Amino acid sequence: MRIVRRGLLLAGIAASVLAMPTILTVPSTVALAASASQAAAPVGPVQRLDNALIETMQNAEQLKFQGRYDKLAPVLNAVFDVPEMTRIAVGPMWNDASEADKAEMTEVFGRYMATMYAARFNGYKGETFEIADSKPRDGGRVLVITKLVRKDQEPVELSYLMKGEGDNWHVTDVYYNGSISQLAQLRSEFSAPLRDGGVKNLKSVLETKIKQLQGGA
pLDDT in tens, the chain (217 residues): 333 333 333 333 333 333 334 333 333 443 333 344 445 799 999 999 999 999 999 999 999 999 999 999 999 999 999 999 999 999 999 999 999 999 999 999 999 999 999 999 999 999 999 999 999 999 999 999 999 999 889 999 999 999 999 999 999 999 998 789 999 999 999 999 999 999 999 999 999 999 999 987 6
Tell me which residue range forms the domain holding 197. 43-216
Residue 180 lies in a domain: yes
Which CATH number covers residue 195?
A: 3.10.450.710
Angle at 88 between CA 82 and CA 93, to 5 degrees: 115
Angstrom distances, CA of residue 83 to CA of 86, 125, 183, 215: 5, 34, 13, 27
Residue 6 lies in a domain: no
Alpha helices in the chain (DSSP H): 13-16, 21-40, 43-58, 60-79, 82-90, 99-120, 182-216
Residue 16 lies in a domain: no
**Amino acid 149: pLDDT:** 95
* Interior/surface letters 110-126, b for 16+ CB within 10 angstroms, e for the rest: bbbbbbbbbbebbeeee
Spatial separation of the C-alpha atoms in residues 57 and 128, rounded to whole Å: 10
**Amino acid 47: pLDDT:** 96
**Amino acid 39: pLDDT:** 57
Rg of the Cα trace of the chain?
22
The letter for the amino acid at 75 is: V
Residue 124 lies in a domain: yes
Residue 3 lies in a domain: no
Would the pTM of this model clear 0.75, i.e. be above it? yes
**Amino acid 217: pLDDT:** 61
